[in-house]
Amino acid sequence: MTATVKTRIRKDDEVIIIAGRDKGARGKVIRVMPQDASILVAKVNMIKRHTRQTENSAGGIVDREAPMAISNVQYFCAKCKAGVRLGVKTLDNGNKVRTCAKCSEVLDS
């Protein structure tokens, strides 16, 4: 049984892959699974899944994304044009927002 991992990466964030066979690739986060410490990124870590024909699907060989470890991705900062760590800052009105650790830009609106 794995422990739930706390992560600052969320769905629809753009990330860059920093380790593995797809190192250097960028993509949008489809799903974050903190209970498995894994993440799904669009068009990255593609596998071939052999599916059986059913009433609803034709079957055959289907390409799809496989989960990868959260530790293998970094948030991609558009201003820095690089993968960065994320920090948390509290605004004057009490709201917490994610920030880029390099340029201190606020990422959440």
* Mean pLDDT of successive 10-residue stretches along the chain, which has 109 residues: 84 97 97 96 97 94 96 96 96 95 91
* Domain-wise residue ranges, the chain: 14-53+60-83
The fold adopted by the segment(s) 14-53+60-83 is SH3 type barrels. (2.30.30)
In this prediction, residue 96 carries a pLDDT of 95
Q: Which residues, including other chains, have CB under 8 Å from residue 48's CB and lie 6 or more apart?
A: 61, 62, 63
Classify residue 80 by burial, with Cβ atoms within 10 Å: 0-12, 13-18, 19+: middle
Tokens of 15: 């990330």
In this prediction, residue 97 carries a pLDDT of 96
pTM for this predicted structure: 0.87
In this prediction, residue 2 carries a pLDDT of 63
In this prediction, residue 101 carries a pLDDT of 95
